[in-house]
Amino acid sequence: MPSDIPAHARERLKGLRSSVSSTGVFTSDFSVNEFLLVRKAGFEPIGLCVGTCVYHVGIQYGSWSKNQELEVLSKAMYHARELAMSRMRAEATAMGADGIVGVKLTIKRLEWDEHLLEFIAIGTGVVHGEGHKGFRAHDGGPFTSDLTGQDFWSLLHSGYRPVEMVMGSCVYHVAHRGVISGLASAGRNVELENFTSAMYEAREIAIERMQVEAAAAKAEGVVGVDMHEGSHGWQTHVIEFFAIGTAVLPLAQEIAPEKIADPIMVLSVND
Amino acid sequence: MSLFDLFKPRSPEAQAQAQAQQAASAQRQADITESLHTGAVPAATRARLEGARNGRLPWMATLTPAELMVARTHGLKPIASISATCWMHYGWSWTEGHSQGWEKALWRLREEAKAAGANAVVDVKMRTVPLAIEASMDFTLVGTAVRVDGLPPSSDPIVATVPMLEFTKLLEADVVPTGIAVGAHYEWMTDWRGMARQTWMGNSESQVLSQFWETVRQQAHAGLRQSARAQGNGVLAHVNFSQMFEREGKDKQPKQYLGRHIVIATTVDARRGLPFPHEIKMVVDLHAGATPLTGTQRHHQSYASNDAEGAI
């Protein structure tokens, strides 16, 4: 029997069960690697936190030939996500979590009504193993982050901690082109300047909103920023720009850059 | 043998042999059916497992050679690849049939593991044959029974749904993967007052549906914890499945909504406070492939077909 299997695990392999734990059952959707790394980082998972929201998205049409944000749709996407996220966070607060790791945010269209969208936010609530409260968000509640367990470990080891999952959304109507401008560009390569500027404006609005959220969370920066462009069953010419990332702050005990180990280069010979 | 051989009259010996084979098959079927009722391992399987257990038959493992190496360095010896099935018909509930089906299969897998004299079953995979036969489905588990050097056979073998490498990593961190827990719940909601119907054109949350959904999910998760409690003190969930449907009411009755949620998880028995003993070094693989150091998503998107709807 190799000595590297701890005694408790060895007992269980013999078929002996330890008495029922006093702490209750924790739930999480971590993979094995995530689970081990989150523990290695000094945290313990305590429970899955879920927030859902079924939302009826209002109706708004962009005027045919105008670039414009569709505020009704923007607000709907924003509000519904906010509701799902805040419910998830409320669950985490209720179970005494210091934070939520690996938040996944999904949108599903309910098949019987094109205006009904279901928003789900799900992540694993964690507590610091030694009861350190310094990892909580600025309002004393749990931090939120869409980083995986592996990224969470890496973030802490690069000297930062997650504060809040921040996002910005903008649903935008891109103007249709008039017949005359269509004719004028026939047979020529030309930039469609109003399309380009539509992209610029919509993207700018979404990013700006995300940055405002990060500033409100008193964060120093945002990591893992991702821009999505998507359409949730709207007319053509309507697109949602969605920016998402994790707002971060330096650790209370900052790690000097020279203390951070360089990654080792390897070349795997698989495949 | 050519096709015409089938039509040739067969020799008396061959006929007798065919009859004996049929009789043996019938006998085996009867024994399997009997075993399903008594909860025992079928005789033929038991004989095979006992042969592997005391070394009369060669061992069998679903492990790759690399996994075999990891098993050996941790004192684990494969005995036999084992399996268990329960084919369920959903008489009264599709949703809860899943919970019943997996639980039964899990119980049978443990019985096979005991017959093999194992301490653990590793690399356990959930399988279902793609035959949609009426309202039914098979719940099959396959895995490799292993023993730990120097330990007596277990009276309560653990079932680990993780591959060998992860199994040993978990053990070293004093986390024992013990089994599978299932939480399943469904509910019908009749919308008596038409609250779920939206007539207003503006943005609004459908609170009735949100709440209905919350209830279904919470019940499923309560079921998961209940199912896990008998096996360990935590779960790593890998399946989260949910669906909601609307049904028109008959004879001017109000609309009905069906919500169902299934969550399946690996249960673990974890000791707190004992971290993973290995030092972690960051490595970047120069081979092409996803790593957070070179980005985990497709780098250029311009010429890829559009992302599927549903992702955000």
pLDDT tens-digit readout, B61-77: 989 999 999 999 999 99
ipTM over cut 0.95 = no
Facing residues of B77 across strands?
B147
Asked whether residue B312 is assigned to any structural domain, the reply reads no
How many residue pairs from chains A and B have C-beta atoms closer than 8 A? 226
Residue B8, pLDDT above cutoff 80: no
Statement to judge: residues B160 and B262 lie in one domain: no
Local structure of residue A174 (DSSP, 8 states) = P
Determine the pLDDT at residue B216: 93
- pLDDT confidence of A1, banded at 50, 70, 90? very low
Architecture of domain A22-252: 2-Layer Sandwich (3.30)
- pLDDT confidence of B147, banded at 50, 70, 90? very high
What gap in Å lies between CA A158 and CA A221, rounded to an integer? 13
Facing residues of B84 across strands?
B141
Interface contact B176-A50, CB threshold 8 A = no
Average pLDDT over residues B128-141: 84
How is chain A split among helix, strand and coil, in percent rounded to 5? 30, 30, 40
Could you tell me the CATH number of the domain that includes residue B72? Answer: 3.30.110.70
Average pLDDT over residues A74-89: 92
Q: What is the pTM of this model?
A: 0.83
Residues of B within 8 A of A83 (CB-CB) are 205, 210
Residues of B within 8 A of A12 (CB-CB) are 158, 176, 178, 269
CB-based contacts of B3, cutoff 8 Å, min separation 6: none
Determine the pLDDT at residue A121: 94
Q: Which of A33, A58, A75 sits opposite B201 (nearest CB)?
A: A58
Residue B252, pLDDT above cutoff 50: yes
Evaluate the CA torsion angle A141, A146, A149, A150 in order and state its sign.
negative
Q: What is the CA radius of gyration of chain A?
A: 24
Determine the pLDDT at residue B7: 62
Question: Are the C-beta atoms of residues A203 and A241 closer than 8 Å to each other?
Answer: yes
What gap in Å lies between CA B109 and CA A147, rounded to an integer? 36
Per-residue burial over B84-123, b if 16 or more Cβ lie within 10 Å, else e, is bbbbbebeeebbbbbbbbbbbbbebbbbbbbbbbbbbbbb
Statement to judge: residues B150 and B211 lie in one domain: no
Helices B65-73 and B164-172: crossing angle in degrees, nearest 10, is: 20
Q: How far is CA A53 from CA A28, A204, A227, A262, B212, in A?
A: 21, 27, 23, 43, 10
Asked whether residue B65 is assigned to any structural domain, the reply reads yes
Average pLDDT over residues A244-255: 88
The per-residue pLDDT of chain A, averaged, comes to: 87
Residue B14, pLDDT above cutoff 90: no
Interface contact A35-B213, CB threshold 8 A = no
Statement to judge: residues B167 and B74 lie in one domain: yes
Determine the pLDDT at residue A258: 80
Determine the pLDDT at residue A175: 84
Q: Which of A32, A109, A230 sits opposite B169 (nearest CB)?
A: A32
CB-based contacts of B248, cutoff 8 Å, min separation 6: B255
Statement to judge: residues B32 and B165 lie in one domain: yes
Residue B273, pLDDT above cutoff 70: no
Statement to judge: residues B161 and B274 lie in one domain: no
Share of chain B above pLDDT 70, in %: 89
Determine the pLDDT at residue B163: 92
Query: What residue of B is the nearest CA neighbor of A265?
Result: B284
- Burial status of residue A141 (CB atoms within 10 A of its CB: 0-12, 13-18, 19 or more): middle
Statement to judge: residues B95 and B168 lie in one domain: yes
Strand pairing class (A160-173; A68-69): antiparallel
Statement to judge: residues B80 and B120 lie in one domain: yes
Q: Which tens digit of pLDDT belongs to each residue from A182-193?
A: 777 778 888 888
Question: Are the C-beta atoms of residues A128 and A135 closer than 8 Å to each other?
Answer: yes
A46-60, A175-189, B9-23: which has the minimum mean pLDDT?
A: A175-189
Average pLDDT over residues B193-207: 77
Q: Which tens digit of pLDDT belongs to each residue from A92-149?
A: 999 999 999 999 999 888 888 888 889 999 999 999 988 888 899 989 999 999 999 9
Determine the pLDDT at residue B72: 92
Strand pairing class (B204-205; A43-56): antiparallel
Interface contact A53-B210, CB threshold 8 A = yes
Determine the pLDDT at residue B272: 76
Give the neighbor-by-neighbor strand order of the sheet with A99-109. A143-144, A99-109, A116-128, A43-56, B204-205
Could you give the 3-state DSSP secondary structure of residue A30?
A: coil
Asked whether residue B9 is assigned to any structural domain, the reply reads no
Range among A258-262, B101-105, B199-203 with highest mean pLDDT value: B101-105
Residue B242, pLDDT above cutoff 60: yes
Interface contact B209-A26, CB threshold 8 A = no
Statement to judge: residues B109 and B214 lie in one domain: no
What gap in Å lies between CA A133 and CA A43, rounded to an integer? 12
> What number of residues does chain B have?
312
Q: State how far residue B28 is from chain A, nearest Cα, in angstroms.
A: 31
Determine the pLDDT at residue B185: 93
Determine the pLDDT at residue A22: 52
Total number of domains in chain B: 2
Per-residue burial over B166-191, b if 16 or more Cβ lie within 10 Å, else e, is bbbbbbbbbbbbbbbbbbbbbbebeb
Asked whether residue B274 is assigned to any structural domain, the reply reads yes
What gap in Å lies between CA B107 and CA A231, rounded to an integer? 46
Determine the pLDDT at residue A90: 95
Residue B312, pLDDT above cutoff 70: no
Determine the pLDDT at residue A35: 93
CA nearest A53: which of A20, A26, A88?
A: A88
Q: Can you list the positions of beta strands (E) in chain A?
A: 26-28, 43-56, 68-69, 99-109, 116-128, 143-144, 160-173, 221-230, 238-250, 264-266
Residues of A within 8 A of B284 (CB-CB) are 263-266
Question: Are the C-beta atoms of residues A209 and A169 closer than 8 Å to each other?
Answer: yes
Determine the pLDDT at residue B133: 77
Q: What are B193's two structure tokens?
A: 């007052």
Q: State how far residue A186 is from chain B, nearest Cα, in angstroms.
A: 24
What gap in Å lies between CA B308 and CA A228, rounded to an integer? 12
Asked whether residue B142 is assigned to any structural domain, the reply reads yes
For residue B154, give its domain range: 27-172
Statement to judge: residues B45 and B133 lie in one domain: yes
Q: How many CB atoms lie within 10 A of CB A173?
A: 23
Statement to judge: residues B105 and B234 lie in one domain: no
